[in-house]
Amino acid sequence: MEALYSKLDAVYDEIVEIRRHLHQNPELSFEEVETPKYIAAFHEKLGHKVRTNVGGNGVVAYLEGAHDGPTVALRADFDALPIHEETNLEFQSVNPGVMHACGHDGHTATLLGLAKVLNQMQDELKGNVVFIHQHAEELPPGGAKPMIDDGCLEGVDVIFGTHLQSQTPLGELNYAKKELQASSDAFEITVKGRGGHGAAPHNTKDSILIASQLVVNLQQIVSRRIDPLDPAVISVCSFDAKGPYNVIQDTAEIKGTVRALSEEVRTQIEEEIEQVVKGTVMLSGADYDYDFQRGYPVTINHEEQVEFAMDCAKDVPGVNEIKEVSPIMGGEDYSYYLQKVKGAYFFTGAQPEGVDDPYPHHHPKFDIDEKALLTAAKVLGKTTLEYMEQN
């Protein structure tokens, strides 16, 4: 593997340059135009077969090895978030209100750098590599499913991917053998009451009071209706009933998110929310609209593949510690790939050097240590070559 490592070391400055270019020019989910062009041009320059507009704005590139063997897919996402950047970096976003605040610029730079090196090793490859550059991870319904429907996994035997983590120490890898991330769903509830003067609440059906009761009652689903051994989250994140200080509004709207680690609990919560809404609202003689929007399913690793990847990572330069961790309740549409083919997804520590309390993902001051990109590339590269060698 020394040849892989040395070649990646040689292109590290280019990987950083790519990351900074993408960071400076972020594009929102489903609005990516220049980013996929940049990615496609990079692969085309290497001589790779390239498909564009895959499932929307996705890009898929193909590298055929000189020898027969399995086809390994590697995935990186490239969309940004509707956040105004406050990092003051030299390469801070030039698009007001848009920022790479989740590391997707780093994911893409990692994969492009690795693609260049694997291209240099084409004569040695005992199989093929599919580079999946995915749009719109941040915004359901996401880019993974339409890319899969458009054939990005055709002929693929296994898939590997990683996510940079700003709050995990540099050099540390985190993994889970099965469930790694939760399902991610959303709900909207509109309480339809009857407004009136704030001085005469008895003549109204107070939508604000009813919605406030709902916020409290919804918490009883997880605490009293879901098995305590089944992790789940219901969070009300928006409450909207704007109006003058002395007017009770006709309607109040609440929005929130639901997270679970099993399809059974996910379905149960969807049904339980409506029962709570119906009971709470009807008790007050009001009406309601309820909409439950299914997002990404649970991200479930394949045990054999994640153990293989972490075993490969043990002696990779830059990897200091490998930890099995509990699942997190964040969602990720990488889950769709793992429903179709065997594979693994893991986290790569990218905590900025000298920062004891780094900003979390989706924060306007989010940043990463760019050395993590090299670590991620080496782990994914070694895993790819070892998989080809052993299969």
Q: Active-site residues: which are they?
A: 79, 137
- Residue-by-residue DSSP string for 117-170: HHHHTGGG-SSEEEEEEE--SSSTT-SHHHHHHTTTTTT--EEEEEEEETTS-T
Give, in order, the Cα–Cα distances in Å from 60 to each of 43, 52, 89, 119, 230. 9, 7, 31, 15, 37
Task: Output the CA angle 342-390-339, nearest 5 degrees.
Answer: 0
DSSP three-state, residue 44? helix
Of 36, 17, 18, 131, which Cα lies nearest the Cα of 79?
36
φ/ψ (deg, to 5) at 225: -120, -15
How many residues comprise the chain?
A: 391
Rg (CA), the chain: 23
The residues, any chain, with a CB within 8 Å of residue 333's CB and separated by 6 or more, are: 134, 137, 140, 142, 143, 144, 145, 296
- Residue-by-residue DSSP string for 72-88: EEEEEE--BBS------
The residues, any chain, with a CB within 8 Å of residue 357's CB and separated by 6 or more, are: none
Calpha distance 329→233 (Å, rounded): 8
Calpha distance 56→332 (Å, rounded): 18
Per-residue tokens: 70: 């399995």
DSSP three-state, residue 184? strand
Task: Output the CA angle 357-166-310, nearest 5 degrees.
Answer: 125
Strand-pair partners of 60: 51, 132
